[in-house]
Amino acid sequence: MTTKLMGQKVQRTEDQRFLRGQGRYVDDVHADPSTLHAAVLRSPHAHARIVDIDMSDVLDVEGVHLVWTHEDLGSLSPELAEPLPLLIPHPDLTQGRTQYALAREEVNYVGEAVAFVVAEDRYIAEDALDRIKVTWEVLPAVVGIEASRAAEHLVHEDVPDNVGARSEQNTGDVEAALARAPHRLQLELDIERSACTPLEGRGTVARWDADTNRLQVWTSTQTSTGVRAAIAVKLGLDLGQVDVITPDVGGGFGVKVMHPWPEELLVPAAARLLGRTVKFTEDRREHFISSAHERGQVQHIDVGFDDEGRIVGLDVMFWHDHGAYTPYGLIVPIITSTQLLGPYKPEVYRVVFESIYTNTVIVTPYRGAGRPQGCFAMERTMDKIAAYLGKDRTEVRAANFIQPDEFPFDQGLIFQDGRELEYDSGDYPASLEKLKKLIGWEEFPALREELAAQGRTVGIGLACYVEGTGVGPYEGAHVHIETSGKVKVATGLTTQGQGHATVFAQLVADELGVRFEDVEVVTGDTRRMPYAVGTFASRAAVMSGSAIHLAAKRAKEKALRIASDALEVDEADLEIVEGVVRVKGSPESRLDLGTIAVLSNPLRYAFDEASKAATQFAVGDPGKPPVAEDDEPGLEGKDFYSPQRATFASGMHAAIVETDPDTAEVTILKYAVVHDCGHLINPMIVEGQIHGGVAQGIGGALYERMAYDPSGQLLNASFMDFLMPYVTEIPDGIDIDHLETPSPLNPLGIKGAGEAGVIPVSAVVAAAIEDAEGFPITAMPISPSDLHTLRQEHTS
C-alpha cells in the first residue's frame, strides 16, 4: 500500500484477527489450571449497616486460598483500607464520597463489594461466597431523584439533603434578560438512568514476580496508566514496580474509564500475597448491579426569546443523580451544563445544577457523557419556541447559530477540563443546509400527506449539538524504526474497537513515507509508554494522533540527518518513498530505513552482516564522539501533545419516524447525520463510529432504562429484561454527510468523532414523535406503553 493515506477509507487491519476468533481479552490471559480465581460477595441491600460477617464456614473449605473483608485490608497496606480515590476533585463538590474496596460498616447500593474470595476455580469461589453469613441492619433506601430531593432519608448521614454538589455558571443577569424578553416559556424534562453494557464486562488478572519484585496486571480498562498509578499507591509499591497491560477490550463506552474498581486492587493484592496468578472476570449480573450507570437527570428550563426566536435569556436548573458515591467527580453534570448550549449563542445564560446522592449504582461517563441530556434540553427548547411562534424549526435554530466568521467563539463558561469553553471552528449554517437536503426536510410535507392517505402517521425531527473533544492534559507516542525497516509505534491510551491500529498507522505511513503494512501499533501497555491519560471524551485521534504525528516527524528528521551524512547530500535534497531515503531526481542514490536504523546505533560488536556497517572501524569521525551530545542511539522519535484547550466537533441529526396507531410502536424510517470533525483521517472508521453511536442512541431513546424498585433493587439486571435494539430496530441505511472545518489547535486539523453518533438521538426521536402525534414529548426513553399512556392523557 502506498503512502498519503490521510483521508482514505483504509480497511481496518485489526478486523481479520477478530473475525477469525483470534482476539485476546482479559479472560484469555493465563487461562491455565494454575491460575486462581476470585469472586466477590456483594450487598443484597441498597442501604444497610453491616452488623457482623461470619466466615467460619469458609476458612476450611478445600480449594479456598483466601477470604477478605474490609478489616483484613489494613494489614496488607494502610492505603488499601482507605476509601477509593475521588479521581477528579472540584471546588463545588463539597460533599464528595467514595466507597471502600470492601465495604466498611455500611453499604449504599445493591452490588457493593463486601467480601473477596480466591479459590482454585470460580466454582469453589462462588460456593464459598454462599457460606459467608452477613448480619444486616437494613436502612431506608433513597431511590430516584424525587426521593433524593425530598430528603426524608439520607444516603450518607453526614451529607445534608443528599446534595453532593451545587454548581452555578452564568454569562450575565439572566433574570433581567428574561424580564425584557418579548416571549417566555418553561419546560420540565426528564431523562432516565441507563448504562453502557459492553459485550465484555470488567476483568483483571495479576501476577507477582518475586524474583524481580514486580507486579504485572492485565485489566479491561480505558486507562492503563491510571490503573497502574492507583495500584502503586494503594499497595504501597513504586510506580516502576507495576506494569499494566490492556489486551483486547470488548467495548468500554465510558464504564471502563472509571478506576480503580475494587477488583483492580484486590486481585493484584491477592496475587502478591499468594505468589500465584489470580483472575477476576465479572459476570453479566455483576456488571448491571456493580458497574457504573449514567444519564438520569430532571431539568427545568426557563427561556425568553424575541419574535424571530432568538434567545434573549436562558435559565436552566437540573438535578443529576450520581448514585451512591462520586468517584468521577462532577464531570457528567459539568458537561451537561456547558455543552447544552450546542451551536447557539443566547444573549444571557445561567445554569445551576445539584448533583445528588441515591442508593443506586455509581454514575460515571457513558458515551456522550452528559451531552445527550444537554442536547435534549436545548433542542426540546428550540422546538417549543418554534411551535409557540409558528415558525419552521430549522428557522429558529438558524436564527440562534454562531456564525462562521465568529470563530473562535467564547461561550463565557468553564468546561470540564477547567479551561474556557471556546469553540475553535465550525460552520453550523452549512451543516443545517446539508442536513435538510439529506433528510428531505422541504419534501416531508408531501410525504406526510402521501402516507396519511394510506392511514399511516409519520413525523420528522432534528437536533444539533457541539461536542468538546480532545481534552488534555496530554498524550505521548514513541515511534521506533527497526533495522528490518519495520516501524513500531506505541501510545499509552487504550483501544476498545475504535480502529487505532489502522488510523495511527495511516498517520505514521504518511509522515515517514513507509508502507502502511510495515507499521505496527501498540496501545495501553505501560511497559511501552508509561505516561498517558486514557481513552475517553473522543480524544484518541486528537491527542494520540497528534503525538504520533509529532513523534514520527522527529524520527523522520533523524533519518534524513543520518542519510544526509551517509550520502553526502543536503537534507533538503532527500525524500522518503516506500521506506527508502533517496536523493530527489537521482533515485539510485539511496539508503533504506533499515540500514539507516543500523547506522543510528554505533556498535562495538557485530551480530550479523548488516550490523558490521555500524561498528567502530567502519563508521564515525575519530574527531567526534560516536553519539553527539544532543543525540541518542537508535532511529526513533518520541513526543507529547498537550493542547491549551479542547477542540469542538459538531453535528446535526434528523429522523423520520412512524408511530403505529394501535400498538404505539415507533419505527424509524429514515435517519440522516451531518458531522464535522475537521479533517478525516479515515472516513470509513468515522462513519462506523457514527453508525454505532446512532444505534446506541436509539437504544437510549426507545429501549434502555435501569428500572429500580423503591427498595433499590434493580429489576432488569439481565439481557432478558434490559431491552436493547437489535439490528431489526436500526434503520437499514443511515445517510451520512461530512463537513470539514479544520481545527487550528492541533497539527492535523482534526476533532474527535467517537461520541458523535449518540449525542442528539433522544432529542431527534422525541421531536419526530411529537411531530407525528401532536402532543409534547418531555421524557426519554419512551416505550410503546409510555406513548400509549400519553395518547390517553392527551385525548382526555
| Nine cell digits for residue 565 | 551524512
Three-state helix/strand/coil letters over 363-430: ECCCCCCCHHHHHHHHHHHHHHHHHHHCCCHHHHHHHHECCHHHCCEEEEEECCCCCEEEECCCCHHH
Q: How far apart are CA 298 and CA 232, in angstroms?
A: 39
Can you say whether the dihedral through the CA atoms of 104, 110, 113, 118 is positive or negative? Answer: positive
From the list 497, 515, 498, the residue with the least C-alpha distance to 506 is 515
Whole-structure pTM value: 0.96
Q: Do domains 367-471+645-795 and 475-641 have the same CATH topology?
A: yes
Give the residue from 311, 387, 386 showing the smallest Cα distance to 344.
311
Residue 304 DSSP SS3: strand
CB 364 within 8 A of CB 327: yes
Residues whose CB falls within 8 Å of the CB of residue 428, separated by 6 or more in sequence, listed in order: 343, 401, 402, 403, 404, 464, 650, 652
**Separation CA 757–CA 755 (nearest Å):** 6
CB 259 within 8 A of CB 232: no
* Backbone φ, ψ for residue 783 (5° rounding): -100, 170
CATH fold for the domain made of 367-471+645-795: Aldehyde Oxidoreductase; domain 4 (3.30.365)
Q: Are 496 and 526 in contact (CB under 8 A)?
A: no
Note the residue count of the chain: 796
Contacts of 209 (CB under 8 A, 6+ apart): 215, 216
Whole-number Å distance between alpha carbons of 108 and 269:
24
Task: Output phi, psi for 226, to 5 deg.
Answer: -65, -45
CA–CA separation, 249 and 756 (whole Å): 21
Assigned CATH class of 475-641: alpha beta
Q: Say how many C-beta atoms besides its own lie within 10 A of residue 138's C-beta.
A: 12
Q: Which residues contact 711 (CB under 8 A, 6 or more apart)?
A: 46, 141, 143
- What is the reported pLDDT for 2? 47
Cβ-based burial of 283 (10 A; exposed 0-12, middle 13-18, buried ≥19): exposed
- Chain-centroid distance of CA 39 in Å reads 27
- For 274-319, what is each residue's pLDDT tens digit? 999 999 999 999 999 999 999 999 999 999 999 999 999 999 999 9
Domain layout of the chain by residue ranges: 15-139+196-290, 367-471+645-795, 475-641
**Residue 3: predicted pLDDT:** 54
Query: How much is the pLDDT for 629?
Result: 80
* pLDDT of amino acid 548: 98
Yes or no: say if 506 and 5 are a contact pair by the CB < 8 Å rule: yes
SS3 569: coil
Residue 185: CB partners within 8 Å, gap ≥ 6? 302, 303, 305, 381, 384, 385, 388
**Under 8 Å CB-to-CB from 319, ≥6 apart: which residues?**
145, 148, 149, 297, 298, 299, 353, 354, 356
DSSP string over 606-654: --STGGGGGBTTTS--TTS-SS-TT--SSSEEEEEE--SS-EEEEEEEE
Nearest to 197 by CA among 702, 717, 687: 717
For the chain, residues with pLDDT lower than 50 are 1-2
Taking only the tens place, the pLDDT of each residue in 779-792 is 999 999 999 999 99
CA 320 to CA 163: how far, in whole Å?
10
Note whether 365 and 331 are within 8 A (CB): yes
Do 279 and 267 form a contact (C-beta atoms < 8 A)?
yes
Which residues neighbour 103 within 8 Å (Cβ) at sequence distance 6 or greater? 43, 50, 70, 112, 113, 114
Q: What is the DSSP letter of 330?
A: T
Alpha-helix residue ranges (DSSP H) falling in 408-530 = 428-439, 444-452, 500-512
Question: Cβ of 27: how many Cβ atoms within 10 Å?
Answer: 19
As beta bridge partners, residue 520 has 488
β-pairing, 183-191 vs 779-780, is parallel
Which of these, 747, 509, 684, 735, lies nearest to 8 by C-alpha position?
684
Contact 541, 37 (CB under 8 A): no
Return the H-helix or E-strand segment holding 256: none
Please state, in angstroms and as integers, the Cα–Cα distance from residue 626 to each residue in 37, 321, 489, 591, 673, following that order: 53, 63, 26, 20, 57
pLDDT for position 623: 76
CATH of 15-139+196-290, one of 3.40.50.170, 1.20.1060.10, 3.40.50.300, 3.90.1170.50: 3.90.1170.50
Helices 683-702 and 761-773: crossing angle, nearest 10°?
A: 50
Of 85, 137, 97, nearest in space to 259 by CA: 85
Largest CA distance in the chain: 97
Q: What is the pLDDT of residues 2-39, one digit of tens each?
A: 458 999 999 999 999 999 999 999 999 999 999 999 99
Note the pLDDT of residue 1: 39
Any residues with CB less than 8 A from the CB of 670 and at least 6 apart, and which? Answer: 439, 440, 655, 656, 731, 733, 735
Return the pLDDT at 609.
77
SS3 for 492?
Answer: coil
- DSSP-derived letter for residue 83 is P
CB atoms within 10 A of CB 792: 9
Distance of CA 506 to the CA centre of its chain: 23
Q: Are 8 and 507 in contact (CB under 8 A)?
A: no
d(C-alpha 582, C-alpha 573), whole Å = 8
**Helix axes 393-400 and 428-439, enclosed angle (nearest 10):** 170
Cell of 704: 434502555
Which amino acid would we find at residue 415?
F
